Structures are given as structure tokens and as C-alpha cells.
Amino acid sequence: MSKPVQPLVTAYIPTRNRVDSLDRAIQSVFEQTWSPIEIIVVDDASEDSTPALLDKYSSSHSIKIIRNKNSIGAAACRNLAIQQASGEFVAGLDDDDIWRPKRVELLLEAFENGYAGVCSHDRLDFGNRELVWKKKPFITLQDLLFYNQVGNQILTKREHIIEAGGYDESLTAAQDYDLWIRLAHDFGAFKTVPHTLQVVNMKSGRESITTAETKLEGYIACFEKHVSKMNDVQKKYQHYRLKIAAGKKVSWAEMFRSVPASLWIKEITRKIFL
């Protein structure tokens, strides 16, 4: 009896001017225990040696490379990759993050129809220390209307992202958070695999084309886009988080007034350690 055909997963990586970290990110996809995997890298007009690295990979590996003559931004790059993906499932990877070898295998095993997608615990690398972000087993739309509890990447069906409208290219930040809200609204909760399957680069010195000002603009725009879905408790907490994102000081008293009791430990930890 022949074995059932395993579904193709497309790993998509947008990149710009991060040749060293990109090399590690691509290698982490090659090390996956799942097969088959299609890799699509979108080079967003890099000016370093990224093109040479990708030429090396394309000559020796099955990897699809899309090169932009002019920078179009990470959200547009992700949409471009998803549009050209051949996989039934897609899984994103930032160019300075790393997948653990069993990430795709375990996420795909956990995926079920009736869910928006699957995520995992993340190891957050701050350079001088690391923290493991352990997430809820199931993350609902109501959870997401407080804050992004999914993280920066998921595995889901390609058609889910296309039907939800893809990443919003008009947002200057929070494009992932916005998409997760729309996916949860349309397809159900996210499942979390209880394993740490991704290392996320949180180092303060990492190069980024997104300034603090454009990040805040993106967060505000995302909030305004979804505020009609939120209850009063969610709105109050979102306003609190936006104040922090704007760099304003928040007193302990204001924190306890604005934050629901279920999130006190999270916010106390943020005030003390982050």
C-alpha cells in the first residue's frame, strides 16, 4: 500500500540587507525534518552581498528567488511570495530568525480544519539574555483583541491568507497582528504547539528600516482598524499599550487601572525587566 502524499509547505522569507542572518535563516529551513518544502526568498532591493548569497543557493539548491528592483516593504514582499507559492500550506520566517528542525513537522501535524493556523512557543534572543515566550494552547479572536498573542509567524493554509486579503501593505507596522485578527475572525482560533520551535531575534542593535515613529503609526492604524470589534476592557488596555509604545511613562496606579487582572503579571514583568 502506497504512502499518502505529504502536503507541500512553502517557506517564505522576505529580506533586505541582512546577508549574514539570512544565511542562518535559510539553513534552518534546509534542516527541517519535514519534506517536501518549497523555499521562496524575496530580496527587497538589497544593497549588500545578499544577491551573491542567493545566487550561490540557487545554483546548488532548489530555491525560488524573487528580486525587487526597488524596495516595496516587508508586507508587500510576503504577499508576493504567498501569491507565487505552490504549497497548500505556507509558513513565514523573518530573515534574522531561526527555525528549530522540527518546526514545520510539528506545526503541520497540529493543524486542523476549523482553525486559523498554528504557532509555537518562541525563544526570544535579546543578546545578553534569552526568554521563552509560552503561549496559550488556543488563541481566540477575543484574546487577540487585547494584543498579539500569536507572535510574528504561523503556519496555515495558503488559501486562508489569500481569502483574508493578505498582509495590509498600507500599515507601517503591526501587519502580522492585523492579519492574525482577520484570520481568527474568518477561520477560528489559533492552536499553539507546546514546543519552542523558533528563535526570534530581539537584539536592540539589529538593523531595521522601521523607525519608532513609523511603528507607532502602524500600531495606531491597526488599533483604529479593529477598534469596532473591541469591548471596553480591550480598548482600555490597547490605549495603555499605545501609550507605552509612544514612550510615555506609565505609573503603577495607571497600570492597575488599565490592565485586566489576568494580564497583571505580564505587565509587571514588562515594567521590571523589559
Domain-located, residue 183:
yes
In which band, very low, low, confident or very high, does the pLDDT at 212 lie, cut at 50, 70 and 90?
Answer: confident
Alpha helices in the chain (DSSP H): 19-30, 50-60, 74-84, 103-110, 141-144, 158-164, 175-187, 212-226, 232-245, 252-258, 264-273
The residue range of the domain holding 167 is 9-230
> Taking every pair of C-alpha atoms in the chain, what is the biggest distance, in angstroms?
66
pLDDT at 13 over 90: yes
Task: Note whether residue 267 is domain-resident.
Answer: no
Q: What is the CATH number of the domain that holds 222?
A: 3.90.550.10
Q: Is 132 helix (H, G, I), strand (E, B) or coil?
A: strand
The tally of domains found in the chain comes to 1
pLDDT for the residue numbered 149: 98
Could you tell me if residue 190 is inside a domain? yes
The per-residue pLDDT for 208 is: 54
Domain contains 151: yes
Domain for residue 30, yes or no? yes
pTM: 0.94
Phi and psi of 191, rounded to 5°? Answer: -100, 145
pLDDT at 205: 56
Which residues pair with residue 39 across a beta bridge? 11
Domain assignment present for residue 263? The answer is: no
- Please give the DSSP secondary-structure letter assigned to residue 229: G
Contact 81, 52 (CB under 8 A): no
Q: Is the dihedral of CA 78, 84, 87, 88 positive or negative?
A: positive
**pLDDT one-digit tens code per residue, 71-121:** 999 999 999 999 999 999 999 999 999 999 999 999 999 999 999 999 999
pLDDT value, residue 207: 55
pLDDT at 180 over 90: yes
Distance CA 66, CA 54 (A): 10
What is the average pLDDT score of the chain?
94
What confidence category does residue 271 fall into, taking pLDDT thresholds of 50, 70 and 90? confident
pLDDT in tens, 214-258: 899 999 999 999 999 999 999 999 999 999 999 999 999 999 999
Q: Say yes or no to pLDDT of 272 above 90.
A: no
Say what percent of the chain tops pLDDT 90: 88
Instruction: Classify residue 44: in a domain, yes or no.
Output: yes
Residue 86 lies in a domain: yes
* Contact between 203 and 131 (Cβ < 8 Å): no
Closest CA to 138 of 151, 124, 119: 119
Q: Does 206 score more than 80 pLDDT?
A: no
